[in-house]
């Protein structure tokens, strides 16, 4: 019955799904009903736009936590172990002399300054840059063969977060919350936890709603930066505030009496009730003062030597709490826009990768690993899909005249963890040096299709009509990578 309603609803191009049904010819309707690829529109009640909604098929994961490393974190120095690269260290890469990557010409093949060691029972080789994350290798599902479409940062982040290199397309989180709503309506359905150093390189595009209704934009706040306009205005007591909202409600109710059955007016009234609930629940979830000391220590939030790490650790605790409270989609950023020089505030290691990553590694490693262990302990990984991703990969060579690596979208790594994914597991591989994906080559579209699939969504039927196109997260591409799904 439900799917029938969904199918009928594709006939309308509006989110509320009324309207043109009356006008559609019976013939057209029948033709489209028979179509297994027809769009499935979410049934959105204007009064409760974030109410939880059915998925297309049984979902393995309810929530998503994305850990996004801004600046393009090198696969060569973290998770993609290449013994041949170590052997050929200092030699030219065959064919590299003709390559012109983002910043220019290539120097010699260069092994990672960090040692790789086997981790867990699976013996997965992970570098010493992220040893604590390495210790979770048995819970991880690695994809080593991702391929991108751009080698510049902004478009790279857009591509990973929205499926398009251009600005203005809905983010994965917007698609997800538009389709599924959220389990906890007193909190934003979709939260972007930005890095303590600032917003990522493609900024709010990473959590933008694109052409989807603005309601599905990610709400940005973090442990040190509160949500705007949440507090009662300065100088207004909570008693006065309540009296004012009651007065407003009376005015609106009297007005509504003249429009019985008009949902838009009623929806606006209930949005004020929802706002009031949010005013209570958002401060509650961001208040880390009741977290036990042991948790702060485990995450590194009490690290007085490394302030940045401590701040990021607090964001990690916040991310865990948001997931715990049922927020549908959380995007946790590690790394911000470029400031203070190349690669200082993010993973963009062009000049001297050893020096730059020596600072970034510890900030990411302990807090992030602690968060994942904590989530596992609390049973959150049963319903939550964790996805680690970055913009694109980096070259196995150093840049000519530098001690760092240039951009490389030809083969890079992401990993998944938690609900619905096979672990320990490794899918796909790059060539002997880690330059190009050669085995089970996967596109970012495949990656997105797989994430949606785990959420119970068919990436081909989750579409939104905009400006003449049925748009989807995966454009006109993408296949679910069945190999990574837990049976």
Cβ neighbours of residue 125 closer than 8 Å, sequence gap 6 or more: 81, 116, 117, 118, 119
- Residues 437-466 touching other proteins, rule: CB under 8 A, are 465-466
Residue 257 burial (CB count, 10 A): 7
Q: Does 169 bind other proteins (CB under 8 A)?
A: yes
Task: Say whether residue 31 binds other proteins (CB under 8 A).
Answer: no
Phi-psi region of 114 (alpha: psi -120 to 50; beta: other; left: phi over 0): beta
Between 90 and 104, name the residue whose CB sits nearer to other proteins.
104
Using CB under 8 A, pick the residue from 264, 284, 302, 439 that binds other proteins.
264
Distance CA 74, CA 430 (A): 13
Q: Cβ 263 to other proteins, closest distance in Å?
A: 9
Q: Is 155 in the site for other proteins (CB under 8 A)?
A: yes
Which of 125, 128, 138, 203 is the binder for other proteins (CB under 8 A)?
203
Find the shortest distance in angstroms from Cβ 67 to other proteins: 21
Looking at 60, 137, 143, 215, which residue binds other proteins (CB under 8 A)? 215
In DSSP notation, 314-334 reads HHHHHHHHHHHTT-SEEEEEE
From the list 369, 230, 354, the residue with the least C-alpha distance to 309 is 369
* Burial degree of 87 (CB within 10 A; 0-12, 13-18, 19+): exposed
What distance, in Å, lies between the first and last C-alpha atoms of the chain? 28
Task: Write the DSSP string, 366-419.
Answer: HHHHHHHHHHHHTTGGGTEEEEEEES-EE-SEEETTSBS--EETTSEEEEEEET
Among 337, 388, 392, 447, binds other proteins (CB under 8 A): 337
* Candidate list 8, 53, 117, 245; residue touching other proteins; CB under 8 A: 245
- Is residue 283 a contact point for other proteins (CB under 8 A)? no
The answer to the question of residue 97 lying near other proteins (CB under 8 A) is: no
Residue 168 binding other proteins, by CB under 8 A = yes
Is residue 168 within 8 Å of residue 208, measured between CB atoms?
A: yes
Comparison of 125 and 230: residue with beta carbon closer to other proteins: 230
Map residues 173-202 to x or -, x wherever contact with other proteins holds by CB under 8 A.
---------------x---------xx-xx
Minimum distance between the CB of residue 61 and other proteins, rounded to whole angstroms? 25
Please tell me whether residue 248 binds other proteins under the rule CB under 8 A.
yes
The enclosing H or E element of 220 equals: strand 219-220
Q: Which of 26, 37, 95, 254 contacts other proteins by CB under 8 A?
A: 254
* Site for other proteins contains 401 (CB under 8 A): no
255 binds other proteins, rule: CB under 8 A: yes
Selected from 328, 350, 360, 407, the binder of other proteins by CB under 8 A is: 407
Q: Which residues are 471's β-sheet partners?
A: 464
List 122, 152, 383, 403, residue binding other proteins (CB under 8 A): 152
Cβ–Cβ < 8 Å for 175, 56: no
Task: Work out the number of other CB atoms within 10 angstroms of the CB of residue 83.
Answer: 11
Q: How far is the CB of 127 from other proteins (least distance, A)?
A: 27
Nearest distance from C-beta of residue 47 to other proteins, angstroms: 8
225 near other proteins (CB under 8 A): no
With CB under 8 A as the contact rule, which of the stretches 331-339, 356-364, 417-425, 430-438 interacts with other proteins? 331-339
Q: How far apart are CA 140 and CA 415, in angstroms?
A: 6
The position carrying tokens 């490693």 is: 365
Nearer to other proteins, 196 or 418 (CB): 196
Query: Tokens in use for 116?
Result: 């790789």
The least CB distance from residue 34 to other proteins, in Å, is 13
Least separation, in Å, of the C-beta of 209 and other proteins? 8
- Block residue for tokens 């959150």: 380
């Amino acid at each position: 019955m439900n799917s029938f309603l969904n199918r009928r609803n594709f006939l309308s191009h509006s989110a509320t799904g009324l309207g043109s049904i009356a006008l559609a010819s019976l013939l057209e309707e029948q033709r489209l009903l028979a179509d297994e690829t027809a769009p499935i529109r979410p049934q959105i009640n204007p009064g409760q736009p974030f109410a939880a909604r059915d998925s297309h098929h049984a979902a393995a994961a309810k929530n998503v936590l994305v850990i996004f490393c801004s600046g393009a974190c090198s696969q060569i120095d973290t998770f993609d172990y290449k013994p041949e690269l170590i052997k050929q260290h200092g030699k030219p890469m065959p064919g590299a002399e003709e390559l012109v990557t983002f910043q220019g010409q290539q120097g010699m093949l260069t092994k990672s300054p960090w040692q790789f060691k086997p981790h867990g029972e699976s013996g997965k080789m992970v570098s010493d840059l992220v040893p604590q994350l390495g210790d979770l290798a048995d819970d991880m599902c690695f994809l080593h063969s991702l391929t991108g479409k751009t080698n510049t940062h902004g478009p790279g982040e857009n591509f990973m977060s929205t499926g398009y290199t251009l600005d203005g397309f809905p983010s994965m989180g917007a698609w997800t919350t538009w389709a599924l709503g959220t389990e906890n309506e007193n909190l934003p359905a979709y939260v972007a936890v930005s890095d303590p150093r600032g917003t990522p390189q493609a900024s709010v595009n990473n959590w933008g709603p694109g052409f989807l209704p603005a309601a599905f934009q990610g709400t940005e706040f973090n442990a040190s930066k509160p949500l705007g306009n949440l507090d009662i205005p300065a100088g207004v007591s909570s008693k006065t505030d309540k009296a004012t909202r009651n007065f407003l409600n009376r005015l609106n109710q009297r007005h509504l009496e003249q429009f019985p059955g008009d949902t838009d007016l009623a929806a606006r009234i209930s949005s004020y009730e929802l706002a009031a609930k949010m005013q209570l629940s958002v401060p509650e979830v961001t208040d880390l003062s009741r977290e036990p000391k042991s948790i702060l220590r485990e995450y590194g939030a009490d690290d007085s030597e490394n302030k940045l790490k401590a701040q990021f650790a607090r964001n990690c605790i916040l991310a865990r709490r948001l997931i715990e409270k049922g927020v549908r989609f959380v995007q946790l950023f590690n790394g911000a826009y470029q400031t203070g020089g190349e690669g200082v505030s993010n993973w963009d290691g062009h000049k001297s990768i050893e020096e730059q990553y020596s600072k970034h590694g510890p900030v990411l490693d302990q807090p992030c690993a602690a968060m994942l262990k904590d989530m596992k302990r609390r049973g959150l990984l049963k319903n939550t899909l964790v996805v680690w991703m970055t913009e694109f990969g980096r070259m196995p060579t150093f840049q000519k005249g530098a001690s760092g690596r240039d951009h490389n979208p030809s083969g890079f790594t992401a990993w998944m963890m938690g609900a619905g994914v096979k672990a320990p597991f490794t899918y796909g591989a790059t060539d002997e040096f880690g330059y190009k994906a050669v085995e089970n080559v996967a596109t970012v579209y495949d990656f997105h299709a797989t994430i949606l699939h785990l959420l119970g969504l068919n990436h081909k039927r989750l579409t939104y009509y905009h400006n003449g196109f049925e748009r989807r997260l995966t454009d006109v591409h993408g296949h679910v990578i069945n190999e990574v799904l837990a049976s």
